[in-house]
Structure 1
Amino acid sequence: MSNIVVINSTGKIGSRVAAHLMAKGLPYRGVSRRTEIPFDWQDERTWPQALAGGKSAFISFVPDLAAPGALAVMQRFVAAARDGGLGKLVLLTGRGEIGAVAAENAVRESGLAWTIVRAAWFNQNFSEGHLLESVLEGHLYMPAGDRREPFVDAEDVAEVATAALLDDRHTGQIYDVTGPELLSFDEVAQRLAGATHRPLQYVPVTIEEFHAGLLQTLGQEWADLLRTIADETLDGRNSWVGDGVQRALGRAPRDFQSFLQQALGAGTWNVPAAAE
């Protein structure tokens, strides 16, 4: 029986944490809504079996810690984890999110060992996330103006989280994991266009225009959530580079060019351009 539980093991970071554990030959239990042993954040009846026998857990909250009611759910989860015998929690949070800080505090006050992995925007949002369609379409609409972000590679985030699960020296640490440089969305669009040979234009929009566009494609709930996240994280508060990767792993974080090379090698954007 594994004593490591990976919650949301089908997600962008959870799947990578699971892959790192598997590569090390370490048993783990990956759980999500669709796994054989399910874990659903909105169905507490699934929690006991998913956590049974676990000693540590990687936690990725769905849909996001900025969602309404997320803190109350996280508080109940922390209590369930403690009652279930877990000893350590490794929590993934979003930099700058008000709800994320509240969830971090719930974990830090749990009485359990903990590590916080506080992540910037993922590079992989442009290759396997919600912005992939925008890249393929040729227009990147974001309410970010010319502000700059320290985009981080999802592989770095997962490596830090994995290290925190396996080594007690990370206990009690808050790791701000970012890439090594600040980039505006316009600079990102230019780099993506140059690497992929696809037309891509960054179009700065207001938060109201951003929300209206999301309403048409995603519906009210997701549009409201993404508006909240953008409103809280794209105002410049995150325009600084963290040292979490260096502190946790003893090396520099991957840069955006390395992400581009990896994604190009995987054929991520190998579909006909919209203008063709």
Structure 2
Amino acid sequence: MSKILVLGARGKTGRRVAARLRELGVPHRPASRAGDVPFDWNDPGTWDAALDDVHGVYLVRPELHPDDLLRAFTARAVTRGAERLVLLSARAGGPGLDRPRERIVQQSGAAWTVLRPTWYFQNFSEGMFAGAVRSGELRLPAGAGREAFVDAGDVAEAAVAALTGDGHHEQVYELSGPQPLSLAEVVAAISEGSGLAVRYRPVTPGAYVSELTAAGRSGPFAELQARLLTWVSQDEGAHVSDGVERALSRPPRPFAAFVKQAAAEGAWA
């Protein structure tokens, strides 16, 4: 049986996609730059082995890489027999934002689905904000803005549904949680659920970029994160989307349920 290639298989959604496929008994191939199946966007020599006998691909878009890389890879995937592509995009930027990478996938010749999630719950437990949460102070240029944060597990389930089921071709799923939350509300919920005293301190975008670069992050990465978080400060992502319900026929997971599980698993210990 042909396999599903899961790119970014060590990332927040990729490893959950792989785990869900494993639970369902669906043949799949987890691939990442440092995984058992090596895949590197910057090394096309790694692409063919990853694509061998593959009929579907979970595409984690290559941030800070040229669009030509995604175009070349999707063309290679389709040529080698991939019939279904599911692209992890992002909702940030609003409906008027130009999304050339989505167009690349939509024009690939394969059946396609695009996922546009908001910021993940898991950014606070295992991602870029987790260390700051554990330290007791979250410093971000998000002001008092709100974001309809989403569970990475819901995103992964939507991806698996699109990779394995019917009715998802040519669908763009905007994936959010059930309610918008400010960063102050986020840390209050984490404090209550974990017993850890956490506060949120808004900072300027410039200060945030300086802190990230001082910690070793690249300038382009820091600038991108500051821009995305500035959109949060403007309530750009505060609206609730219906993508989880459309893709999975159920409501999205609430933030409180995530906090309870993460605390039980020792995420902030």
> Same fold, TM exceeding 0.5?
yes
Instruction: Tell me the CA shift for residue 37 of structure 1.
Output: 2.5
1:250 aligns with 2:257: no
Give the letter for the 1:260 counterpart. V
What is the TM-score normalised by the length of structure 1? 0.91
1:23 aligns with 2:19: no
Structure 2: unaligned runs, 5 residues or longer: none
Moved more, 153-162 or 236-245: 236-245
Structure 1: unaligned runs, 5 residues or longer: 271-276
Give the letter for the 2:82 counterpart. L
Conserved 8 A contact 1:143-1:207:
yes
In structure 2, do the counterparts of structure 1 residues 120 and 261 end up closer, same or farther at CA, with 3 Å as the change threshold? same
Instruction: Tell me the CA shift for residue 238 of structure 1.
Output: 1.5
Give the letter for the 2:71 counterpart. Q
CA distance in 2, matches of 1:60, 1:88: 14
In structure 2, do the counterparts of structure 1 residues 108 and 233 end up closer, same or farther at CA, with 3 Å as the change threshold? farther
Match of 1:59 in 2: 59
Give the letter for the 2:214 counterpart. Q
Alignment length (residue pairs): 266
Conserved 8 A contact 1:97-1:233:
no
Give the letter for the 1:192 counterpart. I
Conserved 8 A contact 2:54-2:81:
yes
CA distance in 1, matches of 2:218, 2:26: 41
Give the letter for the 1:54 counterpart. V
Give the letter for the 1:243 counterpart. D
Instruction: Tell me the CA shift for residue 219 of structure 1.
Output: 3.1
Q: Secondary structure at the match of 2:215?
A: helix
1:267 aligns with 2:263: no
CA distance in 2, matches of 1:233, 1:53: 41
Q: Secondary structure at the match of 2:35?
A: coil
Q: Which of the numbers 89, 93, 117 marks the counterpart of 1:93? A: 89
Match of 1:274 in 2: none
In structure 2, do the counterparts of structure 1 residues 93 and 238 end up closer, same or farther at CA, with 3 Å as the change threshold? same
Match of 1:135 in 2: 133
What does 1:101-180 align with in structure 2 at a 5 Å threshold? 101-180=99-178
Match of 1:273 in 2: none
Conserved 8 A contact 1:95-1:233:
no
Match of 1:10 in 2: 10
Q: Secondary structure at the match of 2:112?
A: strand
Q: Deviations over 1:189-235 (max 9, x none)?
A: 11111112222111111111111111111333432342343345553
Moved more, 214-223 or 133-142: 214-223
Q: Secondary structure at the match of 2:58?
A: strand
CA distance in 1, matches of 2:217, 2:28: 36
Give the letter for the 2:244 counterpart. V
CA distance in 2, matches of 1:152, 1:59: 19
CA distance in 2, matches of 1:141, 1:100: 29
CA distance in 2, matches of 1:146, 1:76: 41
State the Cα RMSD in Å: 1.7
Once the two structures are aligned, what percentage of the paired residues are identical? 39
In structure 2, do the counterparts of structure 1 residues 84 and 100 end up closer, same or farther at CA, with 3 Å as the change threshold? farther
Match of 1:70 in 2: 66
Q: Deviations over 1:2-42 (max 9, x none)?
A: 42111111111010000001011111111111223311111
Conserved 8 A contact 2:144-2:233:
no
Q: Secondary structure at the match of 2:41?
A: coil
Match of 1:220 in 2: 218
Give the letter for the 2:113 counterpart. T
Conserved 8 A contact 2:59-2:88:
yes
Q: Secondary structure at the match of 1:252?
A: coil
Conserved 8 A contact 1:157-1:177:
yes
Q: Secondary structure at the match of 1:168?
A: coil
Q: Secondary structure at the match of 1:269?
A: coil
Conserved 8 A contact 1:119-1:152:
yes
Give the letter for the 1:70 counterpart. P
Give the letter for the 1:134 counterpart. A
